[in-house]
Structure 1
Amino acid sequence: MLGLLAALPVLALLTCQLAVLTSASSKHTDSLAALPTNRVGLVLGTSKYVAKGRHNAYYSQRIAAAAKLYKAGKVEYLLVSGDNRTSHYNEPVTMKRDLITAGVPKERITCDFAGFRTLDSIQRAKAVFGQSKLTIISQRFHNERALFLAGASGIDAVAYDAGTGALPTGKTAVRELGARVQAVLDIWVLRRRPKFLGEHISIGKE
C-alpha cells in the first residue's frame, strides 16, 4: 500500500505529461514551409528582461518569430497577449512596440492586456477576440502546453516553435513540469476560466 501511495505522484505527473504531449503531437513545427497559414497569430507573453536587467532570450525569439511569420504571409494579424500588472510592467505594449520596430505595421497588432496566464491568453483569444483558429507563437515546450489548452477550449490551433526548439533545462524545466500538471488540473478538474473576460474585440475587419 505504501509503495502504491508513493507511486501516485509519479503516475499523476506522467499522466499530465502524456496528456499535453498527445494533444500537441504533429501540431507544432519550427519549419516555416510546414506551417499552415492562419489569419491570426497569438504571441504568448513573457518578460523582456530577466535577472539583473539581462535580455530574455525567450522574449526575443518570440518577437523575431512573430515578425517572420507576418512577413512570410503565414499570419495576417498578431494578437499579443500578456501580463499588464502595473503601470510599469506591460508585456503587450512592449511586444507591440518591438514588433513595430521589427517591421510589423501597428494596425496589424492587437493587444490583450489580461493574458495573466497561458490559460487566460488561450481562452480569451476565443471568448473575447473571437478566434476559433490560431497560430500560437512561443517556444516548443510552451507551445505544447498551449496546444493542450487550445484543444480543450475548442480552438483549432497550430504552433510555431520559436528559437532553437531545444527543450528547457534546470529551473525552467521544473517549472514547466509543474505548469503542465496545473494546466491539466485547470481543464479536467477545476474547469477554470480566465480572470477577466469582457466585451468582444474585433481583430482587423470582421
Structure 2
Amino acid sequence: MGRRLTKPIKRLLRWLLVFAAALVLLVSVVNQWVSLSAQGRLYTSVSDIPARPVGVLLGTSKYLSGGGINPYYQYRIDAALSLYRAGKVSDLILSGDNAHRSYDEPTTMRRDLMAGGIPAQRLHRDYAGFRTLDSVVRANKVFGQGRFTVISQRFHNERAIYLARAHGLDAIGFDARDVEGTGGARVKFREGLARVSAVMDVLFGREPKFLGDPEVIGSPKTQ
C-alpha cells in the first residue's frame, strides 16, 4: 500500500511546488508593476513635494493589539501635520474604517490632527474608506478631487497611486516614516498579497463598497 501511494504523493508534491513557485513569481511581478506605476510621484521631503489643495490621509488603527500606539498611525499623523504646516495641503480627507460605533478611524485622526493645530473645517472625514481602492475612488467621486496627495508609508502610497492612475486620477504621494523590525516585515508580507488584490480590482473593474451623496471640498456644504 505504501509503495502504491508513493507516486501520487510525489506527483502532488511536485504540483504544490510548481504552484508555490508560480505564486511567488506572480507576487514579484505584480509588486514591481505597482512600484513602477508610482515612479517619480513619491516624495519624502516637505520642501520638495508640490503643493496641492487636498491630501488623502489613509487610515489605520491608532493602537496595537497588544497595547501602545501603532507607529504606522503616528507617523502618518506626523506626515499630515508637516504638510499642512508647510502649506503643501490646505484640506485633508481622513479616509478610514468606521465599520461599527466602537471603531472610528476618521474621527480618531481628526481629533489628533486638531490637537496638532489643524482647524476642524479643513478636515473631512471619509467613513467608508474600508480599502485603499475605496479611499482613492471616493476622493474623486464623493469629495470631487481629481488631483491630490496621498499620505501613508511608501509601500502603501505606491499601491494607492497605482489605483488612482488606473482610475484616471492624478495622485502623488508623501511618504510617512516607515516601521522597521518584525512588525514591519509582517506588514510588507501582507502588502504583497494586497497588491495582487489591487490589480485584480482594476482588471475586474471593482468599485467602492459605498459612494453616497457628493461632499465636494470647497463647496458651501463643506466649508
**Residue number in structure 1 paired with 2:93:** 79
Q: Is the 8 A contact 1:119 1:149 kept in 2?
A: yes
How far off is 1:164 after superposition? 4.6
Deviations 1:118-161 (A, max 9, x none): 11000100111110000000011111111111111111011100
How far off is 1:97 after superposition? 0.6
Tell me, yes or no, if structure 1 residue 197 matches structure 2 residue 211.
Answer: yes
Matches within 5 A, 1:146-185: 146-164=160-178, 169-185=184-200
**Residue number in structure 1 paired with 2:148:** 134
How far off is 1:169 after superposition? 3.8
For this pair of structures, how many residues does the alignment match?
205
How far off is 1:165 after superposition? 7.7
| Pair 1:199–1:205, CA change in 2 (3 A) | closer
Cα RMSD of the aligned pairs, angstroms, is 1.9
d(CA) in 2 for partners of 1:6 and 1:177? 14
Matches within 5 A, 1:93-108: 93-108=107-122
**Residue number in structure 1 paired with 2:201:** 186
* Worse-superposed segment, 164-173 or 63-72: 164-173
Q: Is the 8 A contact 1:45 1:91 kept in 2?
A: yes
Deviations 1:82-132 (A, max 9, x none): 000111110000000100001101111100000001110001001111100
d(CA) in 2 for partners of 1:18 and 1:170? 18
Which structure would you say has the larger Rg?
2
**Residue number in structure 2 paired with 1:10:** 24
d(CA) in 2 for partners of 1:165 and 1:38? 26
Unmatched 5+ stretches in structure 1 = none
d(CA) in 2 for partners of 1:159 and 1:79? 14
Tell me, yes or no, if structure 1 residue 122 matches structure 2 residue 136.
Answer: yes
d(CA) in 1 for partners of 2:47 and 2:215? 31
d(CA) in 1 for partners of 2:127 and 2:20? 42
2:172 match: secondary structure: strand
1:52 match: secondary structure: coil
d(CA) in 2 for partners of 1:178 and 1:6? 14
Q: Structure 1 length as normaliser, TM-score? A: 0.93
Q: Could you tell me which amino acid in structure 1 is paired with residue 165 of structure 2? A: G
Tell me, yes or no, if structure 1 residue 35 matches structure 2 residue 35.
Answer: no
How far off is 1:13 after superposition? 1.4
Unmatched 5+ stretches in structure 2 = 1-13
**Residue number in structure 2 paired with 1:110:** 124
Q: Is the 8 A contact 2:71 2:179 kept in 1?
A: no
d(CA) in 2 for partners of 1:131 and 1:153? 12
Q: Is the 8 A contact 1:45 1:80 kept in 2?
A: yes
106, 110, 115: which one aligns with 1:92: 106
